[in-house]
Every structure is written in C-alpha cells, then in structure tokens.
Amino acid sequence: MQDTEIENLIGQEAERQQSTLMLIPSENYASKAVREAVGSVLANKYSEGYAGKRYYEGNEIVDQIELLAIGRAKKLFGVPHANVQPYSGSPANSEILFALAEPGSTIMGLGLSSGGHLTHGHPRVTFSGKYYTSVQFGLTEEAKIDYADMRAKALEHKPKVIFFGTTAYPFILDWEQARSIADSVGAYLVADISHIVGLIIAGVHPSPVPFAHVVMSTTHKTLRGPRGAIILVTDEGLAKDPDLPKKIDSAVMPGMQGGPHNNTTAGIAVALFEASQLEFAEYGHGVVNNAKVLAEGLRAKGIVLVGGGTENHLLVMDFSGDSLGKGTLVASALNFAGIVTNRNTVPNDPSPFYPSGVRIGTPAITTRGIKEHEMVKIAEWIAEVVEIIKSDKLPEAKEERQKYIQDFKARMQADERIKVICNLVRDLCAQFPIL
Ligand code: DSN
C-alpha cells in the first residue's frame, strides 16, 4: 500500500481489535472469506437493476453472485423472496416503509429508550417519525415488552405498519403476539431481526418467519457478514399481498438506492453460507450462554441489570440508581481498561446523550472462542472498573459536563488500577487471536 497513513491507521485498528474486548452487541468479526469478498474486484462494477434486468452491460458474473446470495437467504430463512441489495439497516427500513405506507400514514414501533430503533418511528429525529405519523409503545415495570400497551395503541391509532424489533432488549420476542396485534388492525408486521438474526439461525431464538409479513436484518451483527442488509418477504407476506416482492424491490431500487454494492453482496453470500454450517448453531448457543454467565457475574457484584438479566446476546447495566448519566462515565472508563462497550439509555432515561446505562453483548467475543471461564473474569473486571469510579458523578449542569468528561478521561488514562485491568485484558485477548 502506498498510502502509508491509512495503512498505519488500519494496522492500529487491527491491533486495537486484537487487544481489546469487543463487547458492543452489534459488532462482530467477519471471517477472512467475507472480508476478501468485500475487498474484491466486485467493488469496481456498476449493476443497477436486478439479475437479468440491469441497466449496465457486463453483469453476467454479478448476476450469478446476487442470485446465489438470494437463493441462500431464501433457503436459510425459508422464505419465498429476498432482496440482498439494501446498503444497511436504516436504508432497508426506509425502503420497507416506502413500499408499505404512504407518507403521512401511521406507523408504530418500540420507543428508542425502551430498546427499539430510531427508524421504527422515532418521533423527532428520523424520516420515520418526520414523514410518517408515528406511535411508540414501551415496556412494562419489569422492563419487558408491554404487549397490552402495544395492542391498545394499535387499536387506537390503526397503524399501517408495525415494526417489531430491538437493539437493546435482553429478552425473547413474542412474534405470535405481535402478529395478532398487527392482525387486529390489518397492519403489516415487519420483524427487524438485525440484532438476533444469528440466534434465530442457530435456533436459540424463535423465528419471526411464520408470523411476520416482512423481515429485515442487517448482515454484520450476529450474522457475521459485511455491513449490509437483507429484506425478506415471507409466505405470510405473500398471502397478505402478492405484490409485496415487487413493492419491496422497487422501493429498494429505484425508490431509494442506486447500484448495489456487489462486493457486499458477495460478502453476504459468504456469510449466509457460513451461517448454514452446523458450527453456527454452536456459535449461537455460545453467544447466549456467555451473556448469561456475564449477567450472573455482574449481578453477583451488585450491578443492576435492566430487566434483571438476559435471554439473548446482550444485557444493559443500569446505573440510574447511582446517578443520572453515569453510563457515559462507565463506558468511557471501561474503554480505558480495554473493555469496549457503548453507553445506552435505560427505560425512561431522560437523555440519549448522557444516558444512565451501558449495553454489553457477547457476539464478537464468542466468535473469538471466549467461553464461560473467561466470562467470569470479564464480569469481575467490569465490576472492578465500576468500583474504581464509584464516586464519580456527571454534573447536572449541561455546560459543566464536557469539562468533567475531559478531566475524567485524563484521570482514567493515568489510573494505575485501570492499567492493571487493561493489561489483564490484553493478556486474555492474546490467547484468542482474531483471524
Ligand atoms: N447501530 C445499531 C446498534 O448498535 O444496535 C443499531 O442500528
């Protein structure tokens, strides 16, 4: 590589990924085969359109690649139609809305601070809340999906589309109940399985395919593929509207996107192949088991978890009982210790910028081969970091916060106890090389 600046930075990032614990639940390590596909000559080709119907010549090979990806997706999920062109999850959700609902019509989804996603109708900051009339449902006191609230709001507002999916929710989703709510108002049920897709393939989370009309998943989280997304139309979707495949395809291209990223399509095909192998089921079981061991270890150290634990790949530590915004400080301190997480809202959190929670997930470290024994240690290290900063509190006045965080980071960088944990993390990581 002649661009030594970027070469060096990629090298540094590789070293960071090797020597730290990647505990952000939406991240993973794609295999070398996936990365080779993404870095291949396929990036050079324009292919607007679909197989056999391209606007550019020279797509004989690309057609075969896209058809292979589509065929693998259909087989793996047991669906009659798949579109593998969406650039990523947010574009895919916008395409689904574009296909299923006129601007101005009502849509519904789980609120962001309840563990939903921005594109499921956040009322202020995304297209989904600005161009559609959005209704958001929430959680019960026990931090579980409030199906009664969901049903009542559906009956009151009659949404045309119901998104059902999560980004920070540690429990199993009840697709059947969601479908019955959608049916009660004739809505389309769209399952966003981006976070749990790998668990579904592995058989450790129920599949939405028998219930949802449309299923969307990103491909880079528990699926371990490249950054991209797929949209599936199920048999239920076809029965409700035989034109759904055409509507979805037209919404993707030309509705929202131009040429597909063929290199990504090939990476998705490889990831789908890898996920169809027997070992992938073992991986999914490992992810959930590791999350449960981590939850147990943290609880034993007195750390409060949203909903008290986990049934899937993630958990959310809740520091709202300590002080508001504490999640910001905990995530930052953990990062200095080589434990990479993200600050996250907890239910009813007043601020997404300075939230009180920290989201942790096990998909990436399970890919590395980390198991229960190491999870116990990781829980102890996290608890130690929390203990080290127990007297730190984010100032209430917004203008003082940036300065506090700056000073806090300088302290963390120099803290000998944090350095000790960071070295232990580095030693552990050295035993589990990334490929
Ligand atoms: N950014 C993803 C996540 O971290 O969960 C959701 O889009």
Strand 133-137 with 106-110, pairing: parallel
Stretch 78-94: mean pLDDT, rounded? 98
Contact indicator for 196, 163 with CB cutoff of 8 Å: no
pLDDT confidence of residue 352: 87
Average confidence score pLDDT of the chain:
97
**pLDDT band (50, 70, 90) for residue 1:** low
Catalytic pick among 27, 36, 48, 380: 48
Active site residue 192: yes
Which CA distances in Å does 345 have to 194, 202, 317, 328, 408?
A: 19, 28, 10, 10, 21
Q: Atom 5 of ligand 1 has which residue's CA nearest to it?
A: 167
Q: What whole-number percentage of the chain has pLDDT above 90?
A: 96
Distance CA 372, CA 387 (A): 23
**pLDDT, tens digit (0-9, with 9 covering 90-100), for 401-429:** 999 999 999 999 999 999 999 999 999 99
Domain regions of the chain by residue span:
33-275, 279-431
Pick the CATH number of 279-431 from 3.40.1350.10, 3.90.1150.10, 3.40.1080.10, 3.40.720.10: 3.90.1150.10
Contact indicator for 36, 225 with CB cutoff of 8 Å: no
Can you tell me which atom of ligand 1 is nearest the CA of 119?
7
Query: Which of 195, 341, 360 has the most ligand 1 atoms within 8 A of CB, as the residue to mutate?
Result: 195
In degrees rounded to 5, what are phi and psi of residue 108?
-140, 150
Kindly tell me if the per-residue pLDDT of 301 is higher than 70.
yes
Can you tell me which atom of ligand 1 is nearest the CA of 342?
4
Kindly tell me if the per-residue pLDDT of 261 is higher than 80.
yes
Active site residue 32: no
Stretch 84-107: mean pLDDT, rounded? 97
Ligand 1 center to 58 CA (angstroms): 36
Strand 21-22 with 357-361, pairing: unpaired
Active site residue 46: yes
pLDDT confidence of residue 254: 97
Q: Which residues contact 268 (CB under 8 A, 6 or more apart)?
A: 69, 73, 84, 219, 225, 226, 228, 230
pLDDT confidence of residue 230: 99
Kindly tell me if the per-residue pLDDT of 351 is higher than 90.
no
**Could you tell me how far CA 12 lies from the centroid of its own chain?**
25
pLDDT confidence of residue 124: 82
Catalytic pick among 218, 219, 265, 328: 218
pLDDT confidence of residue 398: 84
Catalytic pick among 27, 35, 46, 174: 46
pLDDT confidence of residue 365: 98
Q: What whole-number percentage of the chain has pLDDT above 70?
A: 100
Residue bearing tokens 């910001």: 328
Ligand 1 center to 150 CA (angstroms): 22
Distance CA 211, CA 178 (A): 8
As for ligand 1, residues whose beta carbon falls within 6 Å of it are 26, 89, 117, 167
**pLDDT band (50, 70, 90) for residue 393:** very high
CATH number attached to the domain at 33-275:
3.40.640.10
Ligand 1 center to 416 CA (angstroms): 33
Q: Atom 6 of ligand 1 has which residue's CA nearest to it?
A: 167
Query: Which of 26, 94, 118, 166 has the most ligand 1 atoms within 8 A of CB, as the residue to mutate?
Result: 26
Stretch 290-317: mean pLDDT, rounded? 98
**pLDDT, tens digit (0-9, with 9 covering 90-100), for 3-45:** 999 999 999 999 999 999 999 999 999 999 999 999 999 999 9
